[in-house]
Structure 1
């Protein structure tokens, strides 16, 4: 009976959580939320959002962790997430509270729940990472339903909110980028939250953006990329070009880790592929047969092979290298079309024939491929799963950052998917109007080292 008494005493003790009030408001701001409401809402969120956490977890352990994570506040009290406090003092009080409150239980259960509480705090296991993401998400939800009550009260800057949301950003990026990001930006635009520009990465297109018309990286652009990385900001290249071509262009800029290639059909981290999306071989074969019919020149890239009737300018120097690792197959008359897994099809120099091909492809395969212009008199086709925006999401997920911590720069239709995903979107002065109309900023032209001039001011590189 002593064991039962200890257990009932603990159950009676934790009833006090109903009286521990948090800073968050409930019922559209009519009163403060208490700890038991927070834990219930958080546990329900865990069940509902489970699909967005990509690792296998023991859900019973997760729910236990959620239900007991705030028990320590019975004695330690609630610490406002955006208030001024000593993290060390907060932790000391909560450890003391954990030992006293869980100490009411029989020894075996005391050890189990103290272990669970420490696991939640340490955030090292998959279960604790998921539980913490649900914790931060629930707090955000209460803020949304109360018209940003806690943000209005404590005036946190964007960087502090992102720090608080980091478990969601890292472990459930679809939830952050698909929901939280836009609400946060709403209150930045309203002036409730100060945007202190907590930039973690810069993603730039190459041709028409980082490169001049004659395909050079100016010294000013090169130096700005290096200074960006010295500032601790990742520098990402996002191009319609192949990985080999990009690496050759940026060989004098050390420290670049991420490469979004072939308009998002490939994503590399250094020399390791993070992602690859090919066009269905039957579809690419049919498209190339249509090119043959209308006599349109093309280049098809995939599996370290370039099959072409007209060589893409990006390969002019690479084809001369014996150790390029690419197999070039020339078919001037387009009579020996090869069926294969291609990541990108490129077409050249004929807007009239582009129109014919585009109408043909979009009528038959609009749900399977993306078609867009990527340069002057150049049209690209890639898999529906491949675009620069998706490539940027893959990089952001790998880095554990939000899309609203990225600056993206571009100039053409193939950059729009990337520019639309970020808050800090930049078009070059030489960009098409359709691009300029959908971005937040316009930089100087690529011929004037516009990337460098923008980053020097925006990131305060000088």
Structure 2
């Protein structure tokens, strides 16, 4: 039987390195959306990267009251809890509610791996994002919801079709985008109507 390797120590950075190696597991969490032009499911780490780049690209539309650096932090940590809790379809409201306690436990475990001050900062940011009340959280949530919609609009409604999603579900779950960026919502509604006409949405 192979001898178990001892945990590597990096002085005062040991906890940080341990956390960084633990979140590598996010690359193995598959989402419903497929990578464009492929038959491969997107993983949550890829989604978080795409989300973060979208924050940078859409920053000019955020308004002066939004701290973009804070939004970027939310983008890269918001789904870390999926390492323990897994990914749940955004339109499955019952499952979303049921998994909340698992996500909270995951946040405590994962962010608790970091040195105390950092762990508290990450946990606070995650809670702020989940609450969706601050200007930063609202902008972040808008982009997080926007990206899967854009992916589906450029992928013949792939995950909508595979999961039997209806037009009214997409409109209902994403209507708050109108409060954050009204012009964008008007464009999205137009494209969603066309997706419905094409049979991508029920």
TM-score after normalising by structure 1? 0.40
Measured in 2, the distance between the counterparts of 1:58 and 1:84 equals 30
Q: 1:28 aligns with which of 37, 53, 56?
A: 37
Q: Tell me if the contact between 2:36 and 2:151 (Cα under 8 Å) persists in the aligned partners.
A: no
Q: Tell me if the contact between 1:25 and 1:31 (Cα under 8 Å) persists in the aligned partners.
A: yes
Hey, which of these two has a bigger chunk of helix by percent? 2
Measured in 1, the distance between the counterparts of 2:200 and 2:16 equals 46
Measured in 1, the distance between the counterparts of 2:94 and 2:82 equals 15
Q: CA RMSD in A?
A: 1.6
Whether 2:40 is the aligned partner of 1:60: answer no
Measured in 1, the distance between the counterparts of 2:165 and 2:36 equals 23
Output aligned runs, 1:203-352, within 5 Å.
none
Output aligned runs, 1:66-81, within 5 Å.
66-81=75-90
Q: Tell me if the contact between 1:65 and 1:120 (Cα under 8 Å) persists in the aligned partners.
A: yes
Q: Tell me if the contact between 2:15 and 2:113 (Cα under 8 Å) persists in the aligned partners.
A: yes
Residues 58, 84 of structure 1: alpha-carbon distance in 2 compared, 3 angstrom cutoff: closer
The size of the alignment, in residue pairs, is 193
Where structure 1 has 5 or more consecutive residues not aligned to the other structure, the ranges are 195-462
Greater mean deviation of Cα atoms: 32-41 or 156-165: 156-165
Q: Tell me if the contact between 1:82 and 1:154 (Cα under 8 Å) persists in the aligned partners.
A: no
Q: Tell me if the contact between 2:156 and 2:200 (Cα under 8 Å) persists in the aligned partners.
A: no
Whether 2:179 is the aligned partner of 1:184: answer no
Q: Tell me if the contact between 1:3 and 1:106 (Cα under 8 Å) persists in the aligned partners.
A: no
Output aligned runs, 1:156-175, within 5 Å.
156-175=165-184
Hey, which of these two has a bigger chunk of strand by percent? 1
Higher relative contact order (CA 8 A, sep 6+): 2
TM-score after normalising by structure 2? 0.89
Where structure 2 has 5 or more consecutive residues not aligned to the other structure, the ranges are 1-9
Q: 2:59 aligns with which of 41, 50, 67?
A: 50
Q: Deviations over 1:182-230 (max 9, x none)?
A: 2211121123323xxxxxxxxxxxxxxxxxxxxxxxxxxxxxxxxxxxx
Q: Tell me if the contact between 1:28 and 1:145 (Cα under 8 Å) persists in the aligned partners.
A: no
**Structure whose alpha-carbon radius of gyration is higher:** 1
Q: Tell me if the contact between 2:153 and 2:195 (Cα under 8 Å) persists in the aligned partners.
A: no
Q: 1:5 aligns with which of 4, 7, 14?
A: 14
